[in-house]
Structure 1
Amino acid sequence: MVDHEMLQDKPHRTVVRVGDTVRRPMQPWSASVHELLRHLEDIGFAHAPRFLGVDDEGREIVSYVDGESGGAGWAKVVEDDGLVAMAQLLRDYHDAVRGFRPVAADGWAGRTAPPEPGELTCHGDFGPWNLVWHGTRPLAVLDWDYAWPARPIHDVAYALEYVAPFRDDETCVRWLSFPAPPDRRRRLEVFAEAYGLTSTEGLVDAVIAQQEAVWERARLLAGQGCQPQAEWQATGFLATTADRIRWSRDNRRLFE
């Protein structure tokens, strides 16, 4: 067993593994996330780490899930097996939280309003890097810091931005492990069907809408001095994100 391992070492975010636990910095909205993780444990949802408390350094403690994650996740969704499995896991998660009604008063990242009719607690950051993989099978969902109330299509659209993906050919091949520019329309259809959608109508608009919502959330958190969003603003990363939204609008023909 690994006794101590640095998983992420950034000035604003030091994440360490201690034995079979992970210690992570708290956020102002962490109590809401902890309530969500306790709900998932209570109903037997096996695909999330367990919240185990807060240590004497004020860090949250969650269970460690063994497998590949982070940058290794990109290659897992290039082939259909991983793409389909990711969509099915997202549907399983949404089914697990349809009856969840949080009572924590701390709100969520970028939102304090309670859920509205038709909304559930989305993961909010459902990308291949935040899954724990064994081969092309995702076993668990990590990093729940950006969970928030939204319609389920928000998580679907967020995932599609990265797995269709809504990126140019060079980025797909150079950074996202594709051997050649992907058939984005087909991949969008495969993911949507595996999730359980009966139509892809409106999905491109949904992807662009979630890009805008996530960008606005990042700007809000940056204005509040939260990290890493404040750093993203200072380094121009938020401007790059705005460019990605424009690319999605200009290239929607690739997906429709």
Structure 2
Amino acid sequence: MGEVETQLPGGTANRGRVVRVGDTVRRPLRPSGPAVHRLLDHLERSGFDGAPRFLGIDEHGREVLSFVPGESVTPPYPAWSMTDQALDSVAVLLRRYHEAVADFVPEDVAWAEPVPRAYVDGLVSHNDPNLDNIVFRDGTAVALIDFDLAGPGSALWDVATAIRLWAPLRPEPDVDDQRRGRTLTRLKRFADSYGLSPEDRTRLVEAATDNHTWCMDYVRRRAEAGHPWFHQRWSTGEAALTARTNTWFATQAQTLHQALLN
């Protein structure tokens, strides 16, 4: 009998196509795969234990990664995942990743999706520390997964991505869990827990705004290209939420910036 494949819950791009086989994960191979594999190899050599290991390509042409035990955060969000302690641990994990990747210098590799040039400073950032791309154990973030969008970026860009999703930075009526009413507190707390530099702190709100634009443009383009899950996401509320959030960023930028300085 062949090895048992168990479908894993996932995000949008690879929904239904990621499986667990024993202590491994099998995922579709992307054009940026060789670049990501070099990155994962570097993280392993550096002793960073917060990412899966690249193990090779299987007989079906899928990449094989080590399985990272734990829980990712998917709706309905469990109460423990919305706590300040969980938020702090995400910031610490992201900082550890940036320290581990700081001396990684990729050459002659193709990455998936370029980030705005203003946020590229030589560091290869994860670029998608979404709630379901972080593994927790006992309420503490222990690993980043899904490096499909990794590529040249910066610590600031990753922090902006993370805080936009984890605070979250969006209109208050669109926050339907225990984080409602705590956006400003969680924004500052994440920056403090990460240890964001004063210079990056002054740019964080602008970076989060630009990250929102970048991310939603990516979703829109994939939807228009016919990707079924991106199309479903965009057509069932994401487009309207994007428009509301664009307005929210424009009107709340000064308040958000001030919260970081208090």
- For this structure pair, what is the TM-score category when the shorter chain's length is used for normalisation? 0.7 to 0.9
**Could you tell which deviates more after superposition, 84-93 or 224-233?**
224-233
TM-score under structure 2 length normalisation = 0.82
Q: Residue 194 of structure 2 corresponds to which residue in structure 1?
A: 195
2:87 aligned partner: 83
CA change 1:226–1:244 in 2 (3 A) is same
Query: 1:59 maps to which residue?
Result: 62
CA distance in 1, matches of 2:169, 2:13: 30
Please name the residue that 1:151 is paired with. Answer: 154
* 1:170 aligned residue: 173
Counterpart residue number, 1:134: 137
Write the distance in 1 (CA, Å) between the matches of 2:38 and 2:97: 15
- Unaligned stretches of 5+ residues in structure 1: none
Secondary structure, aligned partner of 1:149: strand
Are the aligned partners of 1:35 and 1:104 in contact in 2 as well (CA < 8 Å)?
no
- TM-fit CA distance, 1:80: 1.7
Which range moved further: 95-104 or 228-237? 228-237
Following superposition, the deviation at residue 100 of structure 1 comes to 0.6
Counterparts of 1:136 and 1:16, CA distance in 2? 24
TM-score w.r.t. structure 1 length?
0.84
Q: Distance in 2 between matches of 1:228 and 1:102?
A: 31
The answer (yes or no) to whether the contact 2:209–2:249 under 8 Å persists in 1 is: yes
Alignment pair present for 1:109 and 2:112: yes
Give SS of 1:109's match.
coil
1:147-196 deviations in Å (ceiling 9; x for gaps) = 12112111100111112211233332x2xx31x62322221111101111
Distance 2:107 2:122 in 1: 15
**Contact 2:26–2:62 (CA<8 Å) still a contact in 1?**
yes
Aligned mates of 1:248, 1:241 — CA distance in 2: 11
How far residue 88 of structure 1 moved from its aligned partner, in angstroms, is 0.8
> How many pairs align?
250
Report % sequence identity.
Answer: 36
CA–CA distance in 1 between the matches of 2:78 and 2:197?
26
Which amino acid counterpart does residue 29 of structure 2 have in structure 1?
A: M
The residue type equivalent to 2:195 in the other structure is: G
RMSD, aligned α-carbons: 3.1
What CA distance in whole angstroms lies between the structure 1 residues aligned with 2:194 and 2:13?
37
Residue matched to 2:248: 247
